């Protein structure tokens, strides 16, 4: 029986959660398995629920009176998936013998990402600051640029974010606000400076504006033609790109 593509992709992209299956098999308890995997009890069950949802059959079954409480055991399907995961680990070790090959695999995972967000920026977590029930995530981007991202604390844990984690910052074009360089910046907002490279007029709608950043990365925004004209923004103009930290989505690669 073949695995569903969604689970196969998850095994490649989220190996730490798949590894939780091995901890459950070894420990015979969700409580001990979570501790062994470095996860909270809730995070472990969240991972299990996600795996069970992706699989054709449940991979983990609740059991009564398991060692250490919080009983859970692998189903037959879970044991089969764990064996496949262990084989993939061994194969990866054989194929990726050098750091350069590992970097190439990470690059391929970024190139294969598909999302509805027009703007996809690769970055690295530089800081995590608690902000009530949320966390403010500092991201270092290419070319020395940086932005802040506001997500829930649960999301920080679920994505296993820590300083140095490689991530994607996803921003919809409609979430970007374009302003002249000398315009006051809204406090608490991200502001990236760039140059308008192209403006594509929409048919009876907003225009698509392509902005080149100093890092040579490109952002895509949408704006009404009258708005651009009122601000004297045109091809070749320097522009400030504003967006709230809460308007940025974070995704993780391999």
Q: Of 41-45, 76-80, 124-128, 130-134, where does mean pLDDT reach its minimum?
A: 41-45
pTM for the whole structure: 0.62
Condensed to tens digits (0 to 9), the pLDDT of residues 206-233 reads 899 989 898 888 889 999 999 999 999 9
Q: Are residues 132 and 17 part of one domain?
A: no
With beta carbons less than 8 A apart as the criterion, state whether 100 and 110 touch.
no
Q: Are residues 135 and 86 part of one domain?
A: no
With beta carbons less than 8 A apart as the criterion, state whether 179 and 239 touch.
yes
Tell me, yes or no, whether 102 lies in a domain: no
What does the pLDDT read at residue 146? 95
Q: What angle do CA 139, 173, 150 make, to 5 degrees?
A: 35
Return the CATH number at 136.
2.40.50.100
**For residue 193, what pLDDT band results from cuts at 50, 70 and 90?**
very high
With beta carbons less than 8 A apart as the criterion, state whether 18 and 83 touch.
no
Token digits for 53?
């949802």
Structural domain including 139 reads 115-254
Task: Domain count for the chain, please give it.
Answer: 2
Q: Are residues 126 and 21 part of one domain?
A: no
Q: Are residues 136 and 79 part of one domain?
A: no
What does the pLDDT read at residue 10? 46
Checking if the pLDDT of 9 tops 80, the result is: no
Percent of the chain, pLDDT > 90? 34
Q: Are residues 79 and 122 part of one domain?
A: no
Q: Which of these three, 95, 126, 145, is where a domain ends?
A: 95
| SS3 readout for 166-201 | EEEEEECHHHCEEECCCCCCCCCCEEEEEEEEEEEC
With beta carbons less than 8 A apart as the criterion, state whether 23 and 61 touch.
no
Q: Which residue has the tokens 């651009």?
A: 228
Q: Are residues 81 and 154 part of one domain?
A: no
Q: Which of 109, 103, 97, 7 is nearest to 58 (CA)?
A: 7
Checking if the pLDDT of 54 tops 80, the result is: no
DSSP letters of 100-166? HHHHHHHHHHHHT---S-SEEEEEEEEEEEEETTEEEEEEEEGGG-EEEEEEEHHHHHHTT--TT-E
Q: Are residues 190 and 77 part of one domain?
A: no
Return the CATH number at 51.
1.10.10.10
With beta carbons less than 8 A apart as the criterion, state whether 225 and 201 touch.
yes
Q: Are residues 46 and 132 part of one domain?
A: no
Condensed to tens digits (0 to 9), the pLDDT of residues 107-120 reads 545 444 555 567 88
Q: Are residues 71 and 127 part of one domain?
A: no
Checking if the pLDDT of 241 tops 50, the result is: yes
CA 147 and chain centroid, separation: 15
Q: What is the mean pLDDT of the chain?
A: 81
**For residue 99, what pLDDT band results from cuts at 50, 70 and 90?**
low
Condensed to tens digits (0 to 9), the pLDDT of residues 77-92 reads 889 888 888 887 776 6
Query: What is the spatial distance between Cα 114 and Cα 116, in angstroms, rounded to a whole number?
Result: 7
What does the pLDDT read at residue 115? 52
Condensed to tens digits (0 to 9), the pLDDT of residues 64-76 reads 554 444 577 888 9
Q: Are residues 226 and 137 part of one domain?
A: yes
Contact partners, residue 159, CB within 8 Å, separation at least 6: 165, 167, 250, 252
Handedness of CA 173, 179, 180, 183 (dihedral sign): negative
């Amino acid at each position: 029986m073949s695995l569903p593509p969604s689970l196969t992709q998850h095994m490649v992209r989220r190996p730490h959660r798949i590894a939780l299956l091995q901890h459950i098999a070894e420990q015979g308890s969700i409580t001990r398995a979570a501790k062994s995997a470095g996860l909270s009890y809730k995070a472990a069950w969240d991972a299990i629920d996600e795996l069970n949802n992706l699989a054709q059959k449940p991979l983990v079954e609740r059991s009564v009176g398991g060692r250490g409480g919080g009983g859970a055991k692998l189903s037959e399907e879970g044991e089969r998936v764990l064996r496949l995961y262990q084989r993939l680990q061994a194969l990866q070790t054989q194929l990726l013998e050098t750091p350069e090959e590992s970097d190439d695999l990470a690059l391929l995972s970024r190139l294969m990402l598909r999302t509805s967000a027009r703007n996809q920026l690769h970055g690295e977590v530089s800081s995590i600051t608690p902000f009530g029930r949320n966390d403010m995530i500092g991201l270092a981007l290419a070319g020395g640029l940086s932005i802040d991202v506001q997500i829930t604390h649960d999301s920080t844990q679920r994505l296993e974010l820590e300083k140095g984690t490689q991530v994607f910052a996803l921003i919809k074009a409609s979430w970007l606000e374009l302003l002249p360089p000398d315009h006051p910046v809204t406090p608490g907002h991200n502001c990236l400076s760039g140059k308008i490279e192209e403006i594509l007029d929409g048919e009876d709608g907003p225009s698509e504006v392509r902005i080149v950043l100093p890092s040579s990365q490109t952002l895509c925004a949408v704006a009404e033609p009258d708005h651009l004209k009122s601000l004297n923004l045109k091809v070749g103009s320097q522009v400030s790109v504003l967006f709230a930290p809460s308007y940025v989505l974070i995704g993780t690669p391999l």
